[in-house]
Amino acid sequence: MTTVHAVLPDGIDDPARPSGGNVYDRHVCDGLAALGWSVHEHAVGGFWNRPDAAAFGALADAVGEIPDGDLVLVDGLIASAAPDVLVPEAGRLRLAVLVHMPFGDRPRDGDARTGEGAVLMAASKVVTTSAWARERLLELYALPGGRVHVAHPGVDPAELAAHSASGGSLLCVAAVSFDKGHDLLLDALATISDLNWSCVCVGRLDRDPTFVETMRRHSLDARVQFPGPRSGAELDRSYAAADVMVLASRAETYGMVVIEALARGVPVIAADVGGLTEALGHGADGIRPGSLIPADDAAALAEALRSWLGDGQLRARLRRAALQRRESLPSWSSTASVLAAVLTEASQ
């Protein structure tokens, strides 16, 4: 039996803290176990967007207990922030890093690019969640191409959404934050207030409370709701009630909510950033199951929404494409199989 130690942020199973990274981590750990791997999870506490001494200490303790020569898969949220802990351990452990988002593109306090680069150079394998992210890492760092691999997220099978005749039920699933572009979405909705629509913005409200409060004050339209995070059956009901997914993100490595919408036959209107183009893909006849708009462009988003709401033939065409794309979406078992193959190489 092959053994892997998965070093993960604490709380990946907490329904109050949903994220694409948490969902991915849980599915691949379970998927590896289903393939016969012995998976030892090491949950490391701390706020890893801005870790403190206690977080680094907890990581050092967790990694220090792993036997020499063992295979270790570290979530990139932790790895990219902790070169001082992980690089010295790379000599005795077989280190692999799972990069959900290249932090070298989004510097935090200090030199994030230097720290992330040091960790990735020390790792024997790097796994990303999109081809876009792989290319970006190769651009940012002098990594050998054969060291960096892609394991696209999977999606669970889901029931088709019902769809309304008007197409006016808009859904955004993302933590309410500047990066996810909720300000752009609200600006776009303000310019189409003459049309019939409602918008539910499902997502965490604790990432940036000041931004959330600004959005609530900015959105005077009662048709916009911020119900907070949803998971499980409650999130399923949100998708089931949606006509279209709207995602105005300023950065996305892949966009798992896109394929979650497509799994239900729900078209997507999204910013053309990062790996969102990969996630959206095409139907069998080559038609995109939605619209890609320029990044940071509220006017373009408003135009795309106005077209969606005003053109029944467009809605029908995009829904057909979404149904076709639904048939080609990857499964989580395929994600786990790709990752298992990479980790097997790392363990040899």
Give residue-wise pLDDT tens across range 128-142.
999 999 999 999 998
CA atoms of 59 and 93, how far apart (whole Å):
14
What percent of the chain clears pLDDT 90, i.e. is strictly above it? 84
Kindly state whether residue 317 falls inside one of the protein's structural domains.
Answer: yes
pLDDT tens for 271-314 read 999 999 999 999 888 999 999 999 999 999 999 999 999 999 99
The pLDDT score that the predictor gives to residue 50 is 84
CA atoms of 314 and 289, how far apart (whole Å):
10
Are 91 and 32 within one domain? yes
DSSP 104: G
Are 133 and 222 within one domain? no
Residue 106 has pLDDT above 70, yes or no: no
pLDDT tens for 235-263 read 999 999 999 999 999 999 999 999 999 99
Residue 343 has pLDDT above 90, yes or no: yes
Using CA atoms, how far residue 29 sits from 145, 157, 253, 325, in Å, is 25, 19, 20, 26
What average pLDDT does the segment 60-73 reach?
96
CA atoms of 248 and 182, how far apart (whole Å):
7
Kindly state whether residue 315 falls inside one of the protein's structural domains.
Answer: yes
pTM greater than 0.95: no
Chain mean pLDDT for the chain: 93
Kindly state whether residue 294 falls inside one of the protein's structural domains.
Answer: yes
Domain count of the fold of the chain: 2
Are 297 and 317 within one domain? yes
The pLDDT score that the predictor gives to residue 109 is 46
CA atoms of 126 and 120, how far apart (whole Å):
7
Kindly state whether residue 161 falls inside one of the protein's structural domains.
Answer: no
Q: Which domain holds residue 173?
A: 169-326
- What is the SS3 string spanning 279-321? HHCCCCCCCCCEEEECCCCHHHHHHHHHHHHHCHHHHHHHHHH
Are 307 and 269 within one domain? yes
Are 116 and 233 within one domain? no
What percent of the chain clears pLDDT 70, i.e. is strictly above it? 98
According to DSSP, the residues that pair with 201 across neighbouring strands are 172
Are 105 and 179 within one domain? no
The pLDDT score that the predictor gives to residue 46 is 84
- Nearest alpha-carbon partner for 140 in 107, 111, 109, 102: 102
Are 18 and 121 within one domain? yes
Are 97 and 210 within one domain? no
The pLDDT score that the predictor gives to residue 1 is 62
What average pLDDT does the segment 313-341 reach?
96
Are 88 and 149 within one domain? yes
Please indicate whether residue 153 or residue 220 has the higher confidence score (pLDDT). 153
Kindly state whether residue 160 falls inside one of the protein's structural domains.
Answer: no
Domain at 309, CATH number: 3.40.50.2000
Kindly state whether residue 26 falls inside one of the protein's structural domains.
Answer: yes
Helices (H), the chain: 20-34, 53-64, 76-79, 83-89, 112-122, 131-140, 182-190, 209-218, 232-240, 256-262, 276-280, 298-310, 312-326, 332-347
Q: What is the CA radius of gyration of the chain?
A: 20
pLDDT tens for 5-41 read 999 999 888 888 888 899 999 999 999 999 999 999 9
Q: What is the dihedral of CA 321, 249, 116, 9, to 10 degrees?
A: -90
Residue 145 has pLDDT above 80, yes or no: yes
For the beta carbon of residue 232, count every other beta carbon within 10 angstroms: 9
Are 176 and 272 within one domain? yes
At 347, the pLDDT band (50, 70, 90 cuts) reads: confident
Kindly state whether residue 58 falls inside one of the protein's structural domains.
Answer: yes
What average pLDDT does the segment 205-213 reach?
90
- Nearest alpha-carbon partner for 171 in 193, 203, 196: 203
The pLDDT score that the predictor gives to residue 196 is 95
Are 339 and 321 within one domain? no
Are 100 and 236 within one domain? no
DSSP 67: P
Residue 71 has pLDDT above 60, yes or no: yes
Kindly state whether residue 203 falls inside one of the protein's structural domains.
Answer: yes
